[in-house]
Amino acid sequence: DIVLTQSPGTLSLSPGERATLSCRAGQTVSSSYLAWYQQKPGQAPRLLIYGASSRATGIPDRFSGSGSGTDFTLTINRLEPEDFAVYYCHHYGTSPGTFGPGTTVDIK
Amino acid sequence: QLQLRESGPGLVKPSETLSLTCTVSGGSISGSRYYWGWIRQPPGKGLEWIGSVYSSGSTYYNPSLWGRVTISVDTSKNQFSLKLTSVTAADTAVYYCARRDRLYDILTGYSPGWIDAWGQGTLVTVSS
């Protein structure tokens, strides 16, 4: 299985700032099979990005994904109060696929 | 609108079998485009993929749970189910049912893709 490492573990920012979250894979992720999810306390995760850079239905355009190979980035422009949450990356396309440990974006 | 809802006991004794069912509404489980599966999250921790099933009954399981997990589908009820045997305290978690896109690669064939729909989750505690 491909091991995913996310950094930083916690990102403390203010509303209106930009968040840059990193997900690094231990091996090349083929076909950019990489997704990002947002999880708020007490809720199920929500799909934000799939295929490394495609936004899921209904996701605001302040969320963007980029990267290929082993290095992927989720960028959140102009943080809104509802964006403070935990973010997970996910490698799929193989069984079982793996999740990163998560990055917490909290209010500074 | 698609909805997934988990149901089952919230408390299971050690060494017994955890059984959960996911009922899907607003969409058919028989469609060809998706896999259906289970993910769990221990309290305060990250996500772990348990396994997935296709409408034909074919399955993928997390090797770390191999031999203990069975996922099955009942298309007549639009439901799929999880059974996890010989549970211990380490199996205490919020269990989510989910829908996964079905990818096709010319070299490797079909495989589970991203997760585009989740149930709300159900906490299962393993304790005597």
pLDDT at residue A58 in the model: 96
B5, pLDDT greater than 90: yes
pLDDT tens-place string over residues B88-124:
999 999 999 999 999 888 888 888 899 999 999 999 9
Single-letter amino acid, residue B15 = S
Q: Which of A6, A38, A4 is nearest to A102 (CA)?
A: A6
A95, pLDDT greater than 80: no
The answer to whether A92 faces chain B, any CB pair under 8 Å, is: yes
pLDDT tens-place string over residues A9-53:
999 999 999 999 999 999 988 878 999 999 999 999 999 999 999
pLDDT at residue B2 in the model: 95
Structure tokens at A10: 């916690």
Q: Quick one: average pLDDT of B3-17?
A: 98
End-to-end Cα separation, chain B, in angstroms: 39
B13, pLDDT greater than 90: yes
pLDDT tens-place string over residues A43-84:
999 999 999 999 999 999 999 999 999 999 999 999 999 999
pLDDT tens-place string over residues B14-60:
999 999 999 999 999 998 899 999 999 999 999 999 999 999 999 98
pLDDT at residue A81 in the model: 96
Q: Quick one: average pLDDT of B68-97?
A: 97
What is the overall mean pLDDT for chain A? 95
CB contacts, 8 Å: A35 with chain B:
114-115
pLDDT at residue B7 in the model: 98
Mutate to test the interface with B, among A53, A59, A90 (most CBs of B within 10 A): A90
**Cα dihedral across residues B73, B74, B80, B83: positive or negative:** negative
> Number of CB pairs < 8 Å for A and B?
66
Phi, psi of B102 (to 5 degrees): -105, 110
Q: Which residues contact B108 (CB under 8 A, 6 or more apart)?
A: A93
pLDDT at residue A97 in the model: 84
Rounded to whole angstroms, how far apart are CA atoms A18 and A105? 11
End-to-end Cα separation, chain A, in angstroms: 35
A94, pLDDT greater than 80: no
pLDDT at residue B110 in the model: 86
pLDDT at residue A23 in the model: 98
CB contacts, 8 Å: A54 with chain B:
none
Give the residues across from A13 on adjacent strands. A107
